[in-house]
Structure 1
Amino acid sequence: MTLRRCLRGRGLSLVELLVALALSLGVLLAASVLFSGANHAYGAHADAVDVDDSGRFALALLGRAVRQGAFVNWEGPGAAAMDPAAPAPLAGFDNRTLPETGVAIAGALPGAVHGSDVLAVRYPGAGAAPHGDGSVLNCAGFAVHAAEEGWSIFYVARNAGGEAELRCKYRGTSSWSADALVKGVDSFQVLYGIDTDTPRDGIPNRYVNASTILALDAGLGLASAAELNRHTWWKRVASVRVALLLHGERPSPAAVQPGSYALFGPGYGTGPEPYPDPGTWLSTAALDGGARAPSRRLFSAVFAVGAPLE
């Protein structure tokens, strides 16, 4: 009886131990696969949320800036903006970038990221210097007082790490500066809705790019800056249409990716416009260079400017 009890207390046999280890390893392997999948799904979801937040934030800033282009401070010197010889509240370039510290949009540079555009809005401030009353803010969030002209300039440039950013350029207290707004920019494109009616009714009849407006102004044949300010087509802009293509940091979990992105729809660029518009149509292969594509989302909006009527 004692020998039988000793034999029962020896523990597991080698075969039983190997079976237990195999089962344990199978459970651990299954758990690790589930954990890896959950972690990947969480990362993809977080990446998509970041892209969505960045796009909404950028559109909110762009919309606020464009609407400020129609602002007139009737209680201060800003009322001079209604002078017909005053510069237009909007300006821009196609397929250009800007130096960070240059004055306004002077010195625009070629070689923009995927044909990205430049959009500049100028407007009067409000309230006493030096900080104003806080009702007028530039794209960096700083107040603009009534004794100065506010600027919000949007363009795309690469940071020190080579990543493309949508930047906000503004005039500081002593110099011009630029801050990054959102990263992961594939392209930033702008169209302008011009009111071609005479007399004007404030409703856009045609959407064109900045190059077309510059060509229309050149066709006026006006040598005087004051006369050009009076008749410039920039003052006929009644709305602004923007498109922003952003990408995330992680490869997309989607099995099939779009082959291309038409930022203003498939119909844009097929009409009689005399200028090509780089960056409004982008192929995924050109964007990623054969690497696995990240998550992407296209953001677009139309903002009313409220161009003055004749």
Structure 2
Amino acid sequence: MKTRSRIQQGLSLIELLVAMALGLIITLFLSALFIRSNTTTRNLDQGAQMADSARFALNEIGRITRQTAFIPGKVNASAALGAERTDHSWSDKVTFSYNVENSRVASDNTMRDCSGTIVNAGDGMVINEFMVEESNGVRRLVCKSTIGSKTTVHAVIAENVEAMRVMVGYAMNGGGSGEDGGRGCIPNQFLFAKRSGEAPVALPMVALRVGLLMRSTNPQSGNIQNSTNSFPLLGQELSGVLVLRANDLNYGGGFNGRYLRRIYGASYVLRNSCAR
């Protein structure tokens, strides 16, 4: 008796549908994994850009602090640091000023104001003012620089700086303990910046603490929200006094919790008015 062998004719319709379903599931899984990875990468890139902007801004404030009243081999009593609370809860104003004497600048022309203009010998009074300004729905750290009788230059230091708050370090009462040459250049206490018209502290300002609140350029991808809407710019121990909330950041269309926000800070000492 002859038997006929069955010849394979290909996949059945059911087998084909099962294979297509498995392929679709794998494709959807890989697509979701790719989208999630791409979202994380974009958010990390925005965080890195914020850190770079904050680092540049704080370095620029530090550069002006170190440069203030620089005179080779000599103490310059004209060095002055000022900090003022403005009408805005999200910005203080910091002013550095000093008088440039003849032939008393760096010989390699590396002394520049916050706008990048070279400070020359005999230029007179140099003033650099840092503050946060808002325009066209964006806040940014700016500096207004005036050298002698020249026109004031308005320079943008960093974009998307939502707030700047400062504390001022005052020297020891009575001129120090000898460690600083008796001039009282060691910071003994830090106080909040005062408003214009308030009674000043009768001690020299010799140090500065700066806190910046940075915001990402674009909202975070993936509908991610900030875990908090309150930001203590100068540390948790001062959160009851210097904390920014959503109503302080209500600008450019209203507060948006999808933007990435981070706090950065630094401390500086005005050394050029102290005895060496």
TM-score range relative to shorter protein: 0.7 to 0.9
Structure with bigger helix share is: 1
Partner SS state of residue 115, structure 1:
coil
The alpha-carbon deviation at position 55 of structure 1 amounts to 1.4
CA contact (8 A) 2:162 2:214 kept: yes
Question: Residue 298 of structure 1 aligns with which residue?
Answer: 263
Does residue 1:193 correspond to 2:169, yes or no?
Answer: yes
Question: Residue 129 of structure 2 aligns with which residue?
Answer: 153
Cα displacement string for residues 9-38 of structure 1 (whole angstroms, at most 9, x for unaligned residues): 5x5443333223222221211111011011
Question: Residue 136 of structure 1 aligns with which residue?
Answer: 111
Cα displacement string for residues 29-84 of structure 1 (whole angstroms, at most 9, x for unaligned residues): 11110110110110111111111111111111111111222422579xxx8x54xx
- Aligned partner of 1:175 among 146, 151, 154: 151
Change (3 A) 1:52 1:36: same
Question: Residue 23 of structure 1 aligns with which residue?
Answer: 22
Change (3 A) 1:118 1:285: closer
Q: Give the partner amino acid of 2:116.
A: G
Q: Give the partner amino acid of 2:64.
A: A
Change (3 A) 1:165 1:256: closer
Change (3 A) 1:183 1:243: same
Question: Residue 237 of structure 1 aligns with which residue?
Answer: 205
Note the 1:206-285 alignment, pairs <5 A.
206-211=189-194, 215-217=198-200, 233=202, 236-248=204-216, 249-251=218-220, 257-268=227-238, 280-284=242-246
CA–CA distance in structure 2, aligned partners of residues 268 and 69 of structure 1 = 29
Change (3 A) 1:13 1:286: farther
Identity within the alignment, %: 27
The alpha-carbon deviation at position 210 of structure 1 amounts to 3.2
Change (3 A) 1:240 1:250: same
The alpha-carbon deviation at position 177 of structure 1 amounts to 2.3
CA–CA distance in structure 2, aligned partners of residues 18 and 296 of structure 1 = 48
Does residue 1:33 correspond to 2:8, yes or no?
Answer: no
CA–CA distance in structure 2, aligned partners of residues 4 and 174 of structure 1 = 102
The answer for unaligned runs of 5 or more in structure 2 is 176-182
Structure with bigger strand share is: 2
The alpha-carbon deviation at position 150 of structure 1 amounts to 3.0
Give TM-score scaled by structure 2 length: 0.76
CA–CA distance in structure 2, aligned partners of residues 61 and 266 of structure 1 = 25
Number of aligned residue pairs = 255
CA contact (8 A) 1:127 1:133 kept: no
CA–CA distance in structure 2, aligned partners of residues 64 and 197 of structure 1 = 27
Q: Give the partner amino acid of 1:154.
A: F
Change (3 A) 1:215 1:73: farther
Give TM-score scaled by structure 1 length: 0.68
Question: Residue 118 of structure 1 aligns with which residue?
Answer: 93
